[in-house]
Structure 1
C-alpha cells in the first residue's frame, strides 16, 4: 500500500534528497579530469569563442589552480595539457602560459573561499544578451538555479587583465554564483567543478530563452517564494553530480581523447 500520498511537500522533498544521497554515486574523476571534461562539454554546448574564456579549479596547494594553456581551444583540452598556476599566473606545472585574463579569477578566489571552480565564457546568446545591457531574467522552471543568483555588471571595464578588472568583477559577483557582464560574457563561480559546469550550461540556455521570449512579448516574473523553492530544490551537490555525469557521458562519446589513454 502506498505510504506517501498523505505526506506534505516538505516531507517529500526531504525524502527525495535522502534517496538521492544514496542513489547518485560520487565520481572518481580527478579535478584535472573534471576540468578537461568541462572544456569538452562546454565546447559542445556552444561556449567556444576562439581562444576566449577560461576555466579554473582550485588545486590542493593554497593559492594555486588548474587552467587551460593559452593557445588551445576548449575542444583540445586534455587532463595532460592543463597547467597549474599561482595567483600571479606563474606556471608551476605544465608547459606554456595561462590566459592573462585569468588574473580576475585570482581576485574571485580570494574574495570567495567557498568557490572551487570558475568558468568564464562568451557563448553566443549570452554575448547577444550582454549587448542589450539588461540583466538575466529567470522566468522558467528549469532556470531556477539562477533565480536571484545571477548578478549583473552594467559596465564594461575593457580587457580583463588588470587588477582593476579583478576588483570590479569580484565585487559585482558578490555572494552570487553567476554574473552577466554587459558587452562581455558570463561568469559562474561554484563550490565544485560539477556545479560550475552545470550552471554554465544553464546560463547560456537561459539567455537564449530570454532573447526568444523578449522577441515575442514581455517576460513575466515568477512568484518569488516558488522560484526560491525551485532554486534550492535543484541547487544541491547530488543534482550537480548527476547533471555533470550526464553531460560527461555525452561528451565522452566524441571526445575520448580528453583522458590519458582514452576511456
Structure 2
C-alpha cells in the first residue's frame, strides 16, 4: 500500500479500472435469462404495480425485442415465457399478447440505436415524486450515474398506447439514460440489460431520497465537476455488470424458477 500513497487520483482510478476489467467477468447468461432476472430483481425492489410497466430488451433479429406477456406480473416472468415481438407488437415467438403500452418502446429503440434494454415501471417513490411535477434531483453519490442523465416530461400525455405518446416520450428522453414522467413513472434506456437494471434500481432510490430530503429542507446541489466525475466513474459497463451479477444472485435465491424455459 505504501507504494501507492503518493499516486495521483487519476493514476489510482486508472489502476482500479484495469482491476475491474480483469476481475469482473462477462455474464454467461442469455438475454432471456438476464431479462427474466431483471423482472424478478425489480419486483423485489418494489417496482411492481400490478400488471403495469414493461421491461424489454432487443432480440437477435433487428427490429424485434423481448417483452413479458400481458397478464403476467414481474414475479411470474421466466426466460421461457417471454415473448418476441416486432415494432408493431406482433408476436413472433411465444404465446399471448404484449402490453399495448410497449408501443413507445419501439419508438425509443428506433430513435436510439445505443439502447439495448428499456425499463418502464411505476415504483412507489418514483410515482409519488411524479405527482409533484418536479424533476429528479441527483444530490447524493449513490445516484451519480443519473447525474445530468435523467430527463423530465412535465406534461402527462395520457395512456401510452398510441404513436403520439411514442413520439413525445422518445423526444423528451433525447440522449439521456432515463426520464421521469410526470403523473406516471419512469423510463430507463440502458446500453445493456445490466445497465438498465442497475439504473432502474437507482432511480427509485433517488426518488425515495429526494422525497425524504424535500420533507426535511432544501436540497443542496452537487458541484458539477465532481458530480460528472462520479457519473462517468460509476456508469461504466464493468460496474453495471458487477451490480447486475449481485442483483441476479439475489433474485435467483428468491425466485429459483426464473430461468425455467
For the superposition of Structure 1 and Structure 2, which TM-score range results when normalised by the shorter chain? over 0.9
**Counterpart secondary structure, 1:179:** strand
Q: Which residue of 1 aligns with 2:213?
A: 213
Deviations 1:127-148 (A, max 9, x none): 0000000000000011100000
Q: Find the aligned partners of 2:136 and 2:260 in 1 and give their Cα distance.
A: 38
Cα RMSD (Å):
0.8
Q: Which residue of 2 aligns with 1:249?
A: 249
Structure 1 residue 62 corresponds to structure 2 residue 65 = no
**1:1-263 correspondence runs (5 A):** 2-260=2-260
Q: Find the aligned partners of 2:30 and 2:14 in 1 and give their Cα distance.
A: 30
Structure 2 alignment gaps of length 5 or more:
none
Q: Find the aligned partners of 1:145 and 1:260 in 2 and give their Cα distance.
A: 32
Per the normalisation by structure 1, the TM-score is 0.98
Q: Find the aligned partners of 1:225 and 1:106 in 2 and give their Cα distance.
A: 35
**Counterpart secondary structure, 1:3:** helix
Structure 1 alignment gaps of length 5 or more:
none
Q: Find the aligned partners of 2:123 and 2:195 in 1 and give their Cα distance.
A: 18
**Counterpart secondary structure, 2:254:** coil
Q: CA deviation at 1:6?
A: 1.5
Q: CA deviation at 1:3?
A: 2.1
Deviations 1:71-117 (A, max 9, x none): 00000000010000000000000000000000000000000000000
Q: CA deviation at 1:201?
A: 0.4
Runs of 4+ with deviation above 2 angstroms: none
Q: CA deviation at 1:2?
A: 2.9
**Counterpart secondary structure, 1:56:** strand
When the two structures are aligned, how many residues end up with a matched partner? Answer: 261
- Greater CA drift, 198-207 or 243-252: 243-252
Per the normalisation by structure 2, the TM-score is 0.99
